[in-house]
Amino acid sequence: MATTLMPLDPAVSPQRVTRLLTISASLLPEEVIAGRRARRTRAWVIVVVVLVAGLLGSWFAYARHQTTLADDKLSEVTVQVTDLQRDQHKYADVVEVQNQTKNITKQLRTLMANDLPWASLLDTLRTTGTASGIEVTGVNGILNATNASASDTAADLPSTSGSTSIGSLIVTGTAPDKDTIAKFVDALSTQTVVADPYLTSATKGSDDDNLQFSLRVDITGEARCGRFTAPCKTGGK
């Protein structure tokens, strides 16, 4: 049995307070009180368990929904892939032609690796000559043999450009004086497609006061260019 002190009643006079004590007693047995507390605790536990179960059920339903959406998307993509693979057979001829074109391009690059465009080389000589004040009247070129060794190709003159010589040119033309010819030779030495210009002759013309000259110049590997190799440059470097 539990005994509980109750607060004083404000209507009671101080004189009666000194004589009377307000006492309330709980006559419920301890096992009844403990049973009530246990039932309340059990109820709260059940509520928490129900809430957790509800949250887990909601999460499971959401995960199942997302899995279903992913499966549907996978099925859709699989159908698209199957359709595309089926459509590939319609363009088999086009794919074969593209592959053949690639193979031909590779073969042409191999065959045209040493391609030398004479038009581009002659344009470089004429442009350089015009800028130097001379007129190129003739060009005679010859390429080295493909099986010649490096010592054979450079046997005539030592190269100062550091580039491999693949042939040589004999350039003839007219110039007003020797200084102009020297200027042309210096301009050729700055080019990348030719190297080591060497003046072989310079004589007075019979019809006018211009000098007729002839010079030799090496063709370097930089002159190689074409559609299937390095793009060609015109008008100098």
Domain endpoint, select from 70, 87, 104: 87
3-class secondary structure, 15: helix
Domain that holds residue 183: 118-223
Q: How far apart are CA 13 and CA 162, in angstroms?
A: 127
Confidence category of residue 90, pLDDT binned at 50, 70, 90: confident
pLDDT in tens, 76-86: 999 998 888 88
Residue 91 DSSP code: G
Residue 120 CB burial class (10 angstroms; 0-12, 13-18, ≥19): middle
**Number of structural domains the chain divides into:** 2
Report the pLDDT value the prediction gives residue 197, as an integer from 0 to 100: 92
**Residue 187 maps to which CATH number?**
3.30.70.2830
pLDDT digits (tens, 9 = 90+) for 39-57: 889 999 999 999 999 999 9
How far, in Å, CA of 136 to CA of 94, rounded?
Answer: 50
pTM: 0.49
Residues 133 and 76 in one domain: no
Domain assignment present for 17: yes
Q: Are residues 215 and 129 in the same domain?
A: yes
168 in a structural domain? yes
Kindly state whether residues 33 and 73 are assigned to the same domain. Answer: yes
The answer to the question of residue 39 being in a domain is yes
Whether residue 123 sits in one domain with residue 219: yes
Amino acid letter, 136: V
Q: Are residues 155 and 217 in the same domain?
A: yes
